[in-house]
Amino acid sequence: MSDQKTILRALAGETLPTPPIWMMRQAGRYLPEYRATRAQAGDFLSLCYNSELAAEVTLQPIRRYGFDAAILFADILLLPQALGADLWFVTGEGPRLSTITTQGDFDKLTSIDDIDETLNPIYETVRILSRELPSETTLIGFAGAPWTVATYMIAGKGTKDQGPAHALKAENRPLFEALIDKLTDATILYLSKQIEAGAEVVKIFDSWAGSLEGADFIKYALEPAMKITQVLKHKHPGVPVIAFPREAGEGYIGFAKATGADCVALDNSVSAEWAAQNVQKDGCVQGNLASSHMVTGGQALVDETRAIVKAFSGGPHIFNLGHGITPDADPDNVQRMIDAVREPALA
């Protein structure tokens, strides 16, 4: 397997002497070159839908740092926009969407067969990247998980506790489940098209999975991930899937086996030692340095990076943060983290 890209080797279950590394939101506002390109695009959504510029910002951290993977630059809320939801971004506050709270709202959504009209520029970005990335760099496509995307569609924005989605789930379960089902089917189509365009791995981001408990976690986090993964693997044999049920806690245990995912990404609310014992035994894990280290830096960054690499050294591991890098991060700290992974004796 030595001729394969390192991330693909880890995803296939190989334990490597140095874990491959990439970083969630590695193309983003902490980089001056990203800010310049976004200004050129005009606004965030224009950047997402400009295939050439979206490819450019995807490539920027690869040129600067030499990560082992590039993740497509896009946003999880492009899918609801493709389904007919209104989407806009408020400066300093984040995304806003038209809400889905009644059957009438749901009925206004478009057929999943029509989403490509909106999403074709995203597939073109993938095609550009598959041509322009260095031969050793893996291209990762992604989508938001149905539950997480639904929380935004129901509330019309991000919320701390996903309260509106939980309320709809309690008050109108048939409507809530119809939305989850529609998003599940649309996500399968969206990720399948990314793979056809050149994505070598896909990742399912369930950023708010941790707010689901018990049977709800199984039904609305695990089961949609399982369906998405199984259909994609049937359509595209050999393409790995990374699942990220963030803040799942004990729910991380057995998640890979239950869903068929090739890797479980971990947030930093669980320790690497715990995850090595309870999650990595089933296969590849990804994570899980606290993103705050990218702001604070110092010896603590180096020490924690080394500790995570050591904790996961007994099995397949992809080094990453436990959540996306924040806009206030210092680019020099990213390099220090990479050095601590690749050349720990020198960092």
Residues recognised as catalytic:
25, 29, 38, 75, 152
Report the C-alpha gap between 190 and 212 in whole angstroms: 24
For residue 100, the Cα-to-chain-centroid distance in whole angstroms is: 24
Report the C-alpha gap between 211 and 160 in whole angstroms: 10
Do 1 and 20 contact (CB within 8 A), yes or no?
A: no
Do 70 and 139 contact (CB within 8 A), yes or no?
A: yes
| Cis? peptide before 288, omega within 30° of 0 | yes
What residues contact 11, with CB distance under 8 A and at least 6 apart? 201, 240, 242, 262, 263, 284, 316, 318
Report the C-alpha gap between 88 and 93 in whole angstroms: 11
Task: List phi, psi (to 5°) of 245.
Answer: -85, 80
List for the chain the helix, strand, coil content (%; round to 5): 55, 15, 35
What residues contact 285, with CB distance under 8 A and at least 6 apart? 263, 264, 265, 266, 275, 276, 279, 312, 315, 316, 317, 318
